[in-house]
Structure formats: structure tokens, C-alpha cells
């Protein structure tokens, strides 16, 4: 007989900020809350190619909090491997997913095609994409829209309601009832006074709560939208004085539209000169069209379509994108926001080395990403196999975050109380998780607070602390954060310059030989302790 109690297994976004996926089991029924893609270091992204830790055919439904790929990006793989249930979400999320998932499928196919064409892979078994554009569209067709704050039953034994999370267009928190237990999953929470979205909402009095902790260790200066625009105005004016381009790595979904909202306001008020603004992201262009459909419902727009400003130019094809190489004095917004893929890498290649250009970061940069490496002060970075010197001005405006900061997270948790059982903190890097846990325990010393790891399973009894019933996957925890490939990239990009500082040719050659000896020594040691089996 199946266990009648409710259980929760974390398959992602535990001690890391991507790959959100939680499995709830009650009796014979299994559902997922989110099914997202890991993003960050190459080792972490390799987890996307692994076999699911569950049978997709046994999952009866998915509740999707929002359309960001780190929450939705593995849905096509789930469907391709046997999932046949419904994917429940808000209507705006469904509208966005049509473009988000299809774009992710095209990226998978294009990336695999590029890697298989590499000459150094001649004769090797070709890679297969994690999923295709057709898989993505098949997943989108399984989406069912449901209004906020309305109960529905995705499968027998589960009751669910969605609540505004204030994060991005369509984002929701998930209230779930099963096995006499009442659970709230925050999804990603937005900050107070965010453009376009209302503040997060939801009921109180739960047995268990799962809350994101992306900014669990950060207290941002709370500014109004008008104050934020003043900060952006200062960055734009400074970039114009330098004479080069202002390059803004920007997530295609929500961040691009927020920036356009603020730039339009600054242009209309005369706060900045009539500068040309290029949105070089086909996906962002399509998503902006979805935002235009909901303009009347969005806050801060006055019900108008602010995206039709004459200074805004939306590039569509590669030729248009390439032509941007020859311009100066423009604002260029391009995805991805963490500089891991997309056209932003093209613009970084052509602008990072220019002293008159400015790179402005306006979003979270996860460990292991190119954006994080640049932001942390790298002098040289590797982009598409080429070393690129960093001479541009590197700037940051932290007030565009779509995530609540520490104080706002603590307030949201308090508003969901009392929590009779356990509070789980996920979707955060270790320092953020531990800091938020410590702050939470100071506020409520008796509260059970858990920092789950990927692979851990918990029993969720009503009105009692959760009990761990399965330990985490240690092999996954080893690849969370920076990996050896990040360290290798840092090492190799600085190696030539370091060798160049050795003036004597013989000493330079000796340094190379010494490094080779160290590597040979490690290789020999490994061979002695881990010999290959005889064939």
C-alpha cells in the first residue's frame, strides 16, 4: 500500500539558484512544481543532459510558477520522455511560454549543431540536443491556464491555488493541499514597488512553506521607480560622454521591458538626449509583443503601449545585428542577462575591449557565468574560444532586480505564518541560504528551518516538522557553483600575459616546462591510484 502522507523531493534549485523542480507525492499521485533548467557553470549545465531522477510517465501534472527557463526549461524534455499530463499556469505565463520554450529548443538544436561541426570532434559520437523546438511546442500545447486565487484539482487528492508572486508577468506562488497538509511554495518573489507587477500576495497559516532565497544575504537600498530612473539617467549620460556604446545584458523576459519603460520615460521628459535604443534579441521582441497585449493591466504604463517609442529599434535578423558593430553612442540591449548565450556575447566581443564603451549590469549574475566573471573584475575573458581584453567601463545598477531582498523575503515568510511545521529555503547560493536561515532563526528561534540539498526527500506531516527520508545526491553538490572549467578559463586567459612578463626567453621556456611537469606528476599519481581496468 502506498504511503498516504505527503512527501517532497528536491530535484533542483537547492544550494543553487537554477534548475527549480520539486516533486510532491501523495498516495499513487505525483506532481511537480516547476521543471527548470540548470544554468551557470558548464558542469552544472551538464545536469540537464542526465536522466530524470523520476519516471516522467508517472508524473500526473505540473504546476508552473512562471516562464523563466530555470523554472520551465526542462518541460520539453519531460514531455519527450513520457509526461502526458497538464501543465497548469496563469494565462500570461502560457502566452510567454509559447516563445520561451520554442526559443530554448532552437538554442539546443543550434548549440549541438555547432559543437558537432567542430574539427577537434572528428570521428567522435555526435551530441544530441536535450530537446528540439518541436518538443518545446508539444510541451506548450499541454499548458492549461487558470486564474489567480481560484481552487483547482490538477489530480485527485491535490487542491491548488495560485497567488500573485510579483516577480514577472504571470508569476505565481503555489498553495497546495494534500494528505491533510497545507503547503505554500513561493516560486520567485518580486520586490515591493516593482514596475508592472503588484506586490506579492497570499494567505497565512501553513503546515510547511518553501521560500526562495536568491537575495537572502542582501539588503538593497529601496528606491522608488522615479529614483531608479535617476540612477539609469546618470549611467546613460556618463556613457554618452565616453562616446562609445552602452551595452546592457538583459533578460529577454521582464528586464528588457522594464528598461524600455524607464528609457521611454527619460526620453519623453528630456532627461536624456534622443539616443537610439536597439533591442537585439528576437525573443525579447516577441515577449515585448506579449507585454503589449497586457498593457492595460500592467502598472506604471498608464494603460498605454510604451514600447512603440520612435527611438526604439527591434532588430530581427542576424544581418541587422551585425550592422550594430559599426555604430557608437547607442544603447544596445541584448540577451542573455548572464551573458551565457545569445547575441550579448557578440556585442561584448566588439565592445569589451573599447575604453569608450560601457557595460551596464542590471540583473543577478549566478556563480560560474560570464557575467559574474566580468563583474568580479576579470581583465581578460574567453568568449566563443577567443580571449577578449576588458577595457570598457563596467557598471552596475542593482535596482532592477525581479527578486525580493532579505528584508522582503523575511516579511513574506512572516505573512505566511504561523508555520506549524517546517520552513524550507531553496533557490539560493550557500551564503544566501545560511544568512537567511540565521536571520529567520533570530526572529523565530523555535521555527524548524531546512536548507535542502538536491535529491533530499522529506515527509510533510500536518502541524509537525518535516522529516528527512532520503539524503541528497553528493555527486550533484560537487558541481554547484564555480567548476574546474571556470578556473581553467581564468588561468588560460591570463597565462599568455603572465609568460610575457618573463623577459628572458629561456626562463619563459623553463616556466612552461615546470608547469608541464606538475601536470605530468598529477597524471602519474592518478594512474597509480586509479589504474584503468584491463580490456
User: Residue 40 in contact with residue 75, Cβ under 8 Å?
Assistant: no
- Ramachandran region, residue 294 (left: φ > 0; alpha: ψ -120 to 50; beta: rest): alpha
Same domain, 235 and 330: yes
Q: HEC states along 397-419? A: CHHHCCCCEHHHHHHHHHHHCCE
Q: In angstroms, how far is the first alpha carbon of the chain from the final one?
A: 46
pLDDT tens digits for 286-309?
A: 999 999 999 888 888 887 888 999
Whether 53 is in a domain gets the answer yes
- Res 358 pLDDT > 90: yes
- C-alpha to C-alpha distances, 180 to 294, 413, 419, nearest whole angstrom: 38, 21, 15
The pLDDT value recorded for residue 267 is 96
CATH number at residue 364: 3.40.50.10890
Same domain, 196 and 234: no
Residue 327, number of CB atoms within 10 A of its CB: 12
The pLDDT value recorded for residue 492 is 60
* Predicted confidence band of residue 256 (pLDDT cuts 50, 70, 90): very high
* Predicted confidence band of residue 136 (pLDDT cuts 50, 70, 90): very high
Q: What does the DSSP 8-state code read for residue 56?
A: G
Q: HEC states along 93-161? A: HHHHHHHHHHHHHHHHHHHHHHHHHCHHHCCCCCCCCCCCHHHHHHHHCCEEECCCCCCECCCCCCEEE
Closest CA to 20 of 78, 64, 84: 64
Same domain, 245 and 204: no
Number of domains within the chain = 2
User: Residue 290 in contact with residue 92, Cβ under 8 Å?
Assistant: yes
| Phi, psi for residue 260 in degrees, rounded to 5 | -60, -40
SS3 category, 393: strand
Same domain, 435 and 329: no
Closest CA to 397 of 427, 422, 364: 364
- Cell numbers of 41, please? 557553470
Same domain, 319 and 381: yes
Of residues 476 and 233, more confidently modeled? 233
- Cell numbers of 219, please? 539588503
Same domain, 229 and 199: no
CATH number at residue 162: 3.60.15.10
User: Residue 248 in contact with residue 332, Cβ under 8 Å?
Assistant: yes
Same domain, 95 and 147: yes
Instruction: Give the residues across from 381 on adjacent strands.
Output: 388
SS3 category, 185: strand
Cell 537610439 sits on residue: 276
pTM: 0.84
Q: What does the DSSP 8-state code read for residue 298?
A: S
Amino acid at each position: 500500500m502506498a504511503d498516504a502522507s505527503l512527501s517532497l523531493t528536491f530535484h533542483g534549485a537547492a544550494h543553487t539558484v537554477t534548475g527549480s523542480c520539486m516533486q510532491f507525492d501523495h498516495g499513487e499521485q505525483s506532481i511537480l512544481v516547476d521543471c527548470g533548467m540548470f544554468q551557470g557553470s558548464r558542469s552544472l549545465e551538464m545536469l540537464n543532459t542526465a536522466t530524470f531522477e523520476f519516471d516522467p510517465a508517472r508524473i500526473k501534472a505540473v504546476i508552473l510558477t512562471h516562464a523563466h527557463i530555470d523554472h520551465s526549461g526542462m518541460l520539453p524534455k519531460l514531455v519527450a520522455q513520457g509526461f502526458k499530463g497538464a501543465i497548469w499556469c496563469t494565462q500570461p505565463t502560457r502566452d510567454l511560454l509559447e516563445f520561451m520554450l520554442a526559443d530554448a529548443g532552437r538554442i539546443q538544436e543550434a548549440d549541438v549543431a555547432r559543437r558537432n561541426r567542430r574539427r577537434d570532434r572528428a570521428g567522435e559520437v555526435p551530441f544530441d540536443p536535450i530537446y528540439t523546438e518541436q518538443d518545446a511546442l508539444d510541451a506548450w500545447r499541454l499548458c492549461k491556464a487558470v486564474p489567480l486565487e481560484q481552487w483547482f484539482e490538477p489530480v485527485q487528492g491535490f487542491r491548488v491555488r495560485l497567488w500573485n508572486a510579483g516577480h514577472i508577468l504571470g508569476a505565481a506562488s503555489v498553495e497546495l493541499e494534500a494528505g491533510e497538509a497545507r503547503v505554500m511554495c513561493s516560486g520567485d518573489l518580486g520586490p515591493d514597488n516593482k514596475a508592472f507587477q503588484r506586490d506579492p500576495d497570499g494567505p497565512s497559516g501553513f503546515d510547511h512553506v518553501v521560500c526562495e532565497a536568491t537575495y537572502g544575504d542582501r539588503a538593497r537600498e529601496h528606491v522608488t521607480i522615479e529614483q531608479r530612473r535617476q540612477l539609469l539617467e546618470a549611467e546613460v549620460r556618463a556613457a554618452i560622454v565616453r562616446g562609445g556604446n552602452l551595452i546592457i545584458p538583459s533578460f529577454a523576459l521582464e528586464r528588457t521591458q522594464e528598461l524600455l519603460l524607464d528609457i521611454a520615460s527619460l526620453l519623453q521628459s528630456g532627461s536624456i538626449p534622443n539616443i537610439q535604443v536597439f533591442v537585439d534579441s528576437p525573443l525579447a521582441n516577441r515577449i515585448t509583443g506579449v507585454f503589449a497585449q497586457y498593457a492595460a493591466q500592467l502598472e506604471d504604463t498608464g494603460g498605454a503601449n510604451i514600447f512603440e517609442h520612435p527611438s526604439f529599434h527591434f532588430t530581427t535578423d542576424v544581418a541587422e545585428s551585425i550592422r550594430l558593430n559599426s555604430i557608437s553612442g547607442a544603447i544596445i540591449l541584448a540577451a542573455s542577462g548572464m551573458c551565457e548565450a545569445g547575441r550579448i556575447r557578440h556585442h561584448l566581443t566588439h565592445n569589451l575591449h573599447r575604453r569608450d564603451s560601457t557595460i551596464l549590469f542590471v540583473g543577478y549574475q549566478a556563480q560560474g557565468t560570464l557575467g559574474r566573471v566580468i563583474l568580479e573584475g576579470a581583465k581578460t575573458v574567453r568568449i566563443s574560444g577567443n580571449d577578449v581584453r576588458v577595457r570598457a567601463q563596467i557598471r552596475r545598477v542593482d535596482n532592477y532586480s525581479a527578486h525580493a531582498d532579505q528584508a522582503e523575503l523575511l516579511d513574506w515568510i512572516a505573512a505566511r505564518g504561523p508555520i506549524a511545521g517546517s520552513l524550507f529555503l531553496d533557490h539560493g547560493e550557500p551564503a544566501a541560504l545560511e544568512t537567511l536561515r540565521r536571520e529567520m532563526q533570530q526572529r523565530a528561534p523555535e521555527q524548524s528551518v531546512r536548507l535542502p540539498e538536491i535529491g533530499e526527500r522529506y515527509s510533510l506531516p500536518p502541524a509537525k516538522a518535516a522529516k528527512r527520508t532520503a539524503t541528497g545526491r553528493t555527486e550533484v553538490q560537487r558541481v554547484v557553483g564555480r567548476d574546474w572549467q571556470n578556473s581553467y578559463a581564468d588561468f588560460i586567459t591570463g597565462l599568455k600575459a603572465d609568460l610575457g612578463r618573463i623577459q628572458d626567453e629561456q626562463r619563459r621556456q623553463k616556466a612552461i616546462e615546470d608547469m608541464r611537469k606538475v601536470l605530468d606528476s598529477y597524471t602519474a599519481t592518478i594512474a597509480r591510484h586509479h589504474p584503468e581496468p584491463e580490456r
